[in-house]
Amino acid sequence: MSETNTKVLFKSVPEGAATVDNFDVVSEPFDLEAASAALTENKVLLKITWLSVDPYMRGRMRKADGPKSYSLPFSIGEPFAGHGVGIVVKSKSPKYVEGDAVVGFIPWGNYVTVSGAAITRKINIPGVPDLPHETYLGLLGMPSFTAYVGLIVLGKPKAGETLFVSAAAGAVGQVVGQIGKRLGLRVVGSAGSDEKVNLLVTKFGFDAAFNYNKHTVIREKLAELCPNGIDIYFENVGGATLDAVFTLMNVHGRIPMCGMISQYNGAGYGIKNLGAVISKRITIQGFIQSDYLADHNDAFFKWMFEHGLDGTFAYEQTVANGIENIPNAFIGMMEGKNVGKQLIKL
Amino acid sequence: MSETNTKVLFKSVPEGAATVDNFDVVSEPFDLEAASAALTENKVLLKITWLSVDPYMRGRMRKADGPKSYSLPFSIGEPFAGHGVGIVVKSKSPKYVEGDAVVGFIPWGNYVTVSGAAITRKINIPGVPDLPHETYLGLLGMPSFTAYVGLIVLGKPKAGETLFVSAAAGAVGQVVGQIGKRLGLRVVGSAGSDEKVNLLVTKFGFDAAFNYNKHTVIREKLAELCPNGIDIYFENVGGATLDAVFTLMNVHGRIPMCGMISQYNGAGYGIKNLGAVISKRITIQGFIQSDYLADHNDAFFKWMFEHGLDGTFAYEQTVANGIENIPNAFIGMMEGKNVGKQLIKL
């Protein structure tokens, strides 16, 4: 039985923003029976149903001998990889059987062979709500876990405090804001278009939001929307926004730092107000969600099953159809064209 | 019995660096018997023996209606105040008797009347080593407590790690470095003269040190002296030093931020490498020592009595004689002319 297997390979390192030239979409004939027969001990053959593309991947599109970072660079000529969902077609792992739906960290292709260790969770199991596959990459996915860790574990929120979130209509920001509202915070967000700002207030329940492309004197707008100062800043963008925030933070404020999307392509804004960290005894905590999986992932699922799936929690996602559309979806996401979580349906 | 009482008053707000014109040294006749007789309930009349001058005081030399900070501004026309030691001349507080030697937060004068609540510690008490008064402003004083909190409580040092300290020959830095050595760290320091650098290595036992006025490409020099990267940066200066440090921090590094003396006079260096906080999961903790007194002051004294007074702990101080010399001593300290802790002997 011969089918086609399409893969997306890392072709070249971007200079500045990524372009389609940095991706190689290749299709080849795929013999499912032969692949099943060739499977070795502890390996699993998956048919992928959904893939996730995320901004951190831009950081992995670098030279193998470049600066060290928290994640390894992708290898030129090899498939990209990320979080995805698939169905087990054939298993030589004792933990999985044919038909299992699983979430894992997997290469980008229609059919992929992974080690059992790459699978992080079986999702069609008794006692757990029967949810669409993409929910495990979206509302219950890595960006939501990032939101949970940054706001609850590191932000240490207290009801009545003011939370400001940048890139608030993104995959992480929308969840940060909604968790914040459920914890009794005043929640203020920034985003890059009027459409997104509208979504923040009408759909996600933010108390206030502004378009940073329109209100370029960020400090002034933020001061107006945060009359009691900022207690927690969930940092996603860096640059001028962060610099303005420092001047408005309250004493003993917390800044979980999750991303600086404005600086991923090598911008060079110089932060001038860092001295506020001392006078206001601010805590800045840089973090990568994966460091917190072991200690907090179960609590995250518990919280989300209880609060995130109660029907009042909104979730926006942008879906691109077909693995061959990953390059354009990724590039669009880095330019802020997506709303909410960017997903790929295979 | 008439004596002279000399006070130092806050005359005017500096523009940029403080000058002698911002201080008013006034001498007036002082009738000790009359002052004793006039003492009201819970007040104590002290004859001051030693006063402390510290860089944070520059931050209090500001307009009453200026930006809020962690400490209140000094009041124009009123005496400066800070940590000091004195002998109780007359007491209407039930807690103190004539002859007690006490440490407290007190106005700058030869004779001062304070409330009992301003006194933080009696120092001539049974069971405690009999130490010179100035030791309670120096080795056992606020800057050493700052060093203890920043390094031990916030820095969370582990033997074998690398600690970098800026302004390392200052009141705080010299103690940070020596505590670090006793905890098994590799300790590297920076200071502003060859004389100070020599002191760091020969007297305080630093593993390496450099003169930042000579090695202006700070990153290069730091990389050479910290071949295994930096795990803890005890931040005293801000600016280009901090920016270089970000590029050399190790994953899960910690930066207790205690001061940015380079920026107290309003310099505007822009930090470009803050993004490292995310990829390296760095913790930045701004702090003010007084927040930690209630929970950690006893442990600090215990640690210092055990390790700091064992005869192997070096301590440098610069002493100015006479209260009338405070303005020049303060100005010199802000220019880095002092070595170690700046004290005033009355």
Q: What is the pLDDT of residues A12-34, one digit of tens each?
A: 999 989 999 999 999 999 999 99
Radius of gyration from C-alpha coordinates of chain A: 21
Helix residue ranges, H only, B45-172: 57-60, 142-148
Residues in chain B: 346
Tell whether B325 is covered by a domain.
Answer: yes
User: Residue B266 has what pLDDT?
Assistant: 44
Which is more confident, B55 or A10?
Answer: A10
Q: According to the model, what pLDDT value does residue B114 have?
A: 96
Tokens of A124: 């069609």
What does the H/E/C string look like for A209-271? Answer: EEECCCCCCHHHHHHHHCCCCEEEEEECCCHHHHHHHHHHEEEEEEEEECCCHHHCCCCCCCE
- The three-state DSSP-derived secondary structure of chain A is CEEEEEEEEECCCCCCCCCHHHEEEEEEEEEHHHHHHCCCCCEEEEEEEEEECCCCHHHHCCCCCCCCCCCCCCCCCCECEEEEEEEEEEECCCCCCCCCEEEEEEECECEEEEEHHHEEEECCCCCCCCCCHHHHCCCCCHHHHHHHHHHHHHCCCCCCCEEEECCCCECCHHHHHHHHHHCCCEEEEEECCHHHHHHHHHCCCCCEEEECCCCCCHHHHHHHHCCCCEEEEEECCCHHHHHHHHHHEEEEEEEEECCCHHHCCCCCCCECCCCHHHHCCCEEEECCHHHHHHHHHHHHHHHHHHHHCCCCCCCCEEEEECHHHHHHHHHHHHCCCCCEEEEEEC
Output the six-digit token pair for B56.
């944070």
CA distance A154 to A180: 13
Contact B278 A258 (CB under 8 A): yes
Q: What is the pLDDT along chain B (346 residues), one digit of tens a residue?
A: 568 999 999 999 999 899 999 999 999 999 999 999 999 999 999 999 999 999 889 989 999 887 666 678 999 999 999 999 999 999 999 999 999 999 999 999 999 999 988 999 999 888 888 899 999 999 999 999 999 999 999 999 999 999 999 999 989 999 999 999 999 999 999 999 999 999 999 999 999 999 999 988 899 999 999 999 999 999 988 889 999 999 999 999 999 998 765 554 445 788 999 989 998 999 999 999 999 999 999 999 999 999 988 888 999 999 999 999 999 999 999 988 888 899 999 9
- Strands (DSSP E) contained in B99-185 are 101-107, 111-115, 119-122, 162-165
* Dihedral over alpha carbons B131, B133, B134, B140 (to 10 degrees): 60
Cβ A147 vs Cβ A172: under 8 Å: yes
Please tell me whether residues B278 and B177 are part of one structural domain.
yes
- Whether residues A238 and B281 touch (CB distance < 8 A) is answered with no
Residue A100 CB coordination number (10 Å): 20
Tell me: do B224 and B162 sit in the same domain.
yes
Same domain, A147 and A216: yes
B268 interaction partners in chain A (CB closer than 8 Å): 272
The residue of chain B with its CA nearest to that of A281 is B286
| A56–chain B nearest CA distance, Å | 10
pLDDT bucket at A69, cuts 50 / 70 / 90:
low
pLDDT of residue A130: 86
pLDDT per residue as tens digits for the range A152-161:
999 999 999 9
The answer to whether residue B295 sits within a structural domain is: no
Which residue carries 């030399």 as its tokens?
B61
- Looking at the structure, do residues B131 and B52 belong to the same domain, yes or no? yes
What is the distance between the alpha carbons of residues B41 and A84, in angstroms, rounded to a whole number? 74
Query: For A270-285, how does the pLDDT look when each residue is reduced to its tens digit (9 = 90+)?
Result: 899 998 999 899 999 9
* CA separation for the pair A326, B303 (Å, rounded): 59
The verdict on A95 and A164 lying in the same domain is no
Q: What pLDDT, on the 0 to 100 scale, is given for residue B267? A: 53
Among residues A290, A308, A326, the one where a domain terminates is A290
Q: Could you tell me if A270 lies within 8 Å of chain B, comparing CB atoms? A: yes
Q: Is B184 found in the same domain as B269? A: yes
The fraction of chain A above a pLDDT of 70, given in percent, is 96
Q: Determine the pLDDT at residue B221.
A: 96
Is A131 an interface residue toward B (CB < 8 Å)? no
Domain for residue A20, yes or no?
Answer: yes
B265 Cβ under 8 Å from any chain A Cβ: no
Q: Going by C-beta distance under 8 Å and a sequence separation of 6 or more, which residues neighbour residue B67?
A: none
pLDDT at B258: 87
Q: Judge if A6 and A125 occupy the same domain.
A: yes
Query: In angstroms, what separates the C-alpha of B269 from chain A's closest C-alpha?
Result: 6
Note whether B215 and B221 are within 8 A (CB): yes
Are B156 and B255 in the same domain? yes
Distances (CA, A) of B77 to A338, A342, B332: 60, 63, 23
Whether residues B236 and B332 fall in one domain: no
Distance from CA of B242 to the nearest CA of A (A): 10
Q: What angle do CA B323, B324, B325 make, to 5 degrees?
A: 90
A212 domain residue, yes or no: yes
Structure tokens at A131: 């949810």
Residues A124 and A21 placed together within one structural domain of the fold: yes
Radius of gyration from C-alpha coordinates of chain B: 21
Q: What is the DSSP letter of B269?
A: P
Q: pLDDT tier at A253 (50, 70, 90 boundaries)?
A: very high
Which residue's entry shows tokens 């009041």? B75
Q: Strand, helix or coil at B29?
A: strand
Residue B311 lies in a domain: no
B18 lies in the same domain as B47: yes
Cβ under 8 Å to B: A residues 34-73: 59, 69-70
Residue B237 CA to residue B46 CA, distance in Å, equals: 36
Q: Are B247 and B219 in contact (CB under 8 A)?
A: yes
What is the rounded average pLDDT for all residues in chain A? 93
B85 SS3 class: strand
DSSP B79: B
Mean pLDDT calculated for residue range A167-173: 92
Out of A257, A271, A274, name the one closest to residue B278 (CB).
A257
**Which residues are registered as beta bridge partners of A342?**
A318
* C-alpha separations of A177 from A92, A186, A314, A318, B206 in Å: 42, 9, 11, 19, 47
Nearest Cβ partner of B268 from A242, A272, A288? A272
Mean pLDDT confidence for A216-229? 95
Q: B119-149 burial string, b = 16+ CB within 10 Å, else e?
A: beebbeeeeeeebebbbbbbbbbbbbbbbbb
DSSP notation for B278-315 = HHTT-EEEE--GGGGHHHHHHHHHHHIIIIITSS----
Which residues in chain A have Cβ-Cβ distances shorter than 8 Å to B291? 281
pLDDT given at position A163: 98
Nearest CB among A251, A274, A286 relative to B238 is that of A274
Interatomic CA distance for residues A342 and B276, integer angstroms: 26
Same domain, B161 and B252: yes
For residue B299, tell me if it sits in a domain. no
- Are B275 and A269 an interchain contact pair (Cβ–Cβ within 8 Å)? no
Residue A265 confidence (pLDDT): 43
Residue A308 lies in a domain: no
Amino acid, res. A5: N
**Nearest chain B residue (CA) to A255:** B284
Q: What is the C-alpha to C-alpha distance for residues B306 and A130, in angstroms, rounded to an integer?
A: 62
A176 neighbors A234 (Cβ within 8 angstroms): yes
Question: What is the rounded average pLDDT of the residues A95-124?
Answer: 94
Residue B120 placed within a domain: yes
- What CATH code is carried by the domain that includes residue B216? 3.40.50.720
Best residue in A263, A278, A280 to probe B by mutation, most B CBs within 10 Å?
A278
A229 and chain B in contact, CB less than 8 A: no
Chain A positions touching B265 (Cβ under 8 A) are none
The closest alpha carbon to B93, from B28, B40, B165, B32, belongs to B40
Reported as a single tens digit per residue, the pLDDT across A315-332 is 999 999 999 999 999 999
Q: What is the CATH number of the domain that holds A61?
A: 3.90.180.10
Percentage of chain A surpassing pLDDT 90?
82
Instruction: List the domain range (segments joined by +) for residue B327.
Output: 2-138+317-345
Q: Which domain-ending residue is among A255, A273, A290?
A: A290
Q: How many domains in chain B?
A: 2
The shortest CB-CB distance from B286 to any of A263, A281, A288 is to A281
Nearest to B257 among A272, A277, A288 (CB): A277
How is residue B63 annotated by DSSP? -
Mean pLDDT for A88-117 is: 95
CA closest to B259 among chain A residues? A278
Q: How far is A119 from chain B (nearest CA, A)?
A: 24
Distance from CA of A76 to the nearest CA of B (A): 22
Distance CA B172, CA B257 (A): 12
